Amino acid sequence: MRIYISADMEGVAGIFLPEQLKRGTPEYAEARRWLTAEVNACIEGAFKGGATEVIVKDAHSSGFNFVLDEIDPRVEVVQGGSLSRFPGLDSSFSGLILLCYHAMAGTQEAICDHTMSSVDWHRYELNGMELGEVGIDAAEAGALGVPVIMVSGDDKVCAETKQLLGDETMTCQVKIGLARHYVRTRPPAAARYLIRDAAEEAVRNSGRMKPFKPEPPYLVRLEYNLTSGADRIRCDGVRTVREGPRTIVFKGDDLLEVITRSL
């Protein structure tokens, strides 16, 4: 059984400050070790749950965050980044795990809430549903027939997951957001046990989980923070339309193509 893990960083236990997420700071040097340990706990759980092959994507920022020497040698790692969010993911995979994720832009009392870019993006909608990164990634995987089987992070991203993907999807809450940079957290050592056990159960139950795939045609509406965000998008007036000063609409029948065009 093949499992794909996408690991962001905002949802790691103990992380709540921008310094912890930025390369080059002493806080980041510590935080990336916690991230690496949570990734390893997830890998361990996935193999215990029945996985035979695991690919892990280093998904935060430039995709260069794991302490590679410490990563479980049983997996393959994807680092760096480009338009394709999950290289190698296809219908042969039984599930996608979104590890250390965060709530969508505009969520109150959520640690480091944003959608893709905190500078640029204000609101992202697919067929009228507001989506954060959990939803966007679930739709990308869903287009390939792969379900999101587990999400970890704070209480808000867990609630967002249940609301969008339903109760079957496993969530693993490692901290509670009190404000954007104010946290009540499990210590990293405790969070690892929670993640390992949740991943094991999620992989074991992956057969029961359904891919997230809204019906075509697809319409993505992206609202930028500034008009300059929308200025950068080339519009043909048919498939890509400037709907307002800060809003672009992307249309099409191929879900993966429409999402990729909008990112």
Residue ranges binding Zn ion (CB under 5 A): 8-10, 60
CA distance 164 to 19: 30
- 79: its two tokens: 């680092």
Shortest distance, CB of residue 22 to Zn ion, whole angstroms? 11
Question: What residues contact residue 92 under an 8 Å CB cut-off, 6+ apart?
Answer: 2
Q: Which of 76, 55, 78, 64 is nearest to 28 (CA)?
A: 64
- CB contact at 8 A, 160 and 132: yes
Minimum CB separation from Zn ion for residue 60, in Å? 4
User: Among residues 119, 115, 82, which one has the least CA distance to residue 101?
Assistant: 115
Closest CB to Zn ion among 9 and 174? 9
To Zn ion, the closest distance from the beta carbon of 28 in angstroms equals: 12
Residue number, 122 or 246, with CB nearest to Zn ion? 122
Nearer to Zn ion, 12 or 255 (CB): 12
Place of tokens 């390893």: 40
Q: Closest distance between Zn ion and the C-beta of residue 41, in Å?
A: 19
- Minimum distance, C-beta of residue 7 to Zn ion, in the bound complex (Å): 9
Nearer to Zn ion, 38 or 200 (CB): 38
Between residues 102 and 122, which has the closer beta carbon with respect to Zn ion?
102
Other Cβ atoms within 10 Å of 215 Cβ, number: 7
